[in-house]
Structure 1
């Protein structure tokens, strides 16, 4: 390090000598780290049942991929949590209002009598409910909440129509 080639010295030999010193120093540091880790280690966690259980829990898969439609229905039924059904107003507040309050992507705004009356007159309640359940244009099925039942969606459509003073 800092050695300059003198007359008659090969620069490659100087480089290799310096490189060997650096690698030797790193090797010594590596050995010191390994010895220190051995001294400070708390033991093998594989010997402790509690640590083994924690390790297995952390390494367990977080989910699984299901491609069989029958298994998909069964898996979704197993993961559904039971809850009290939402009222139409609750569904509008929790789900539908995200788009209908602001008119996102041309969604009819809550309380807009002209927009809701036109849709109701042209399509009727059953078609509006069908579109709400299956999705229509930019609106996702069930407003994006797949946990909503058909009855909850129907009640939400009725609540939106009532909010716009459309007589059903």
Structure 2
């Protein structure tokens, strides 16, 4: 008897689900099953960033670097302060400073805080930060 009751309940449930689905419009169904979020992968260029074209070093700096480099968080060299940058540049050279920014160093993660930057973007941001020194 229990098996017949469960089977009857299952058939009724499926019938009701089909009836509800048939009364929903395609737009209602699309809204009901749409994704609840998006996944962003650090370092992967977003389509909107690529469509916007190249950004200047200043734009990249303002979007991703300023939080740490404006005030020197955890020893980050401050923007356009020769005393912070010159020892690094003299000791390591620009290419090594750039590689450190791309790969991460000390508290700075790889690519800094820029989730949609490429190596050239990081280079432009560094060039902006050392401009005039």
Give the TM-score normalised by structure 1. Answer: 0.56
Question: Alignment length, in residue pairs?
Answer: 110
Aligned to 2:103: 134
The offset of 1:60, in angstroms, is 4.3
Gaps of 5+ in 2: 1-18
Q: Deviations over 1:107-164 (max 9, x none)?
A: 11113211100111011110111111111111112122231121111111111111xx
How far apart are the structure 2 equivalents of 1:62 and 1:133? 32
Rounded Cα–Cα distance in structure 2 between residues aligned with 1:131 and 1:108: 13
Contact 2:81 2:130 in 1 (8 A): no
Q: Which runs of 4+ in 1 moved over 4 A?
A: 60-65
**Cα distance, 1:62 vs. partner?**
4.3
- Alpha-carbon distance in 1 for matches of 2:36, 2:74: 35
Find the structure with the greater CA-based Rg: 1
Q: Could you tell me how far 1:49 is from its partner in structure 2?
A: 3.5
Determine if the alignment matches structure 1 residue 148 to structure 2 residue 122. Answer: no
Aligned with residue 157 of structure 1, among 109, 115, 126: 126
- Aligned counterpart for 2:47 among listed residues 54, 68, 80: 80
RMSD: 2.6
Normalising by the residue count of structure 2, what TM-score does the alignment of the two structures yield? 0.68
> Unaligned 5+ residue runs, structure 1?
1-43, 66-71
Residue by residue, what CA displacement relative to the aligned partner does 1:79-104 show, whole Å, maximum 9, x if unpaired? 63322111111111111111100111
* Residue 23 of structure 2 is aligned to residue 48 of structure 1: yes
CA, structure 1 residues 99+64, in 2 after alignment: closer, same or farther (shift >3 Å)? closer
Q: Distance in 2 between matches of 1:45 and 1:137?
A: 57
* Larger RCO, structures 1/2 (Cα 8 Å, 6+ apart): 2
> What do residues 56-91 of structure 1 show as CA deviations (whole Å, max 9, x unaligned)?
5433454799xxxxxx9xxx57x6332211111111
The residue that corresponds to 1:19 in the other structure is none
Alpha-carbon distance in 1 for matches of 2:128, 2:111: 15
Q: Determine whether 1:121 maps to 2:90.
A: yes
Separation in 2, partners of 1:160, 1:106: 15
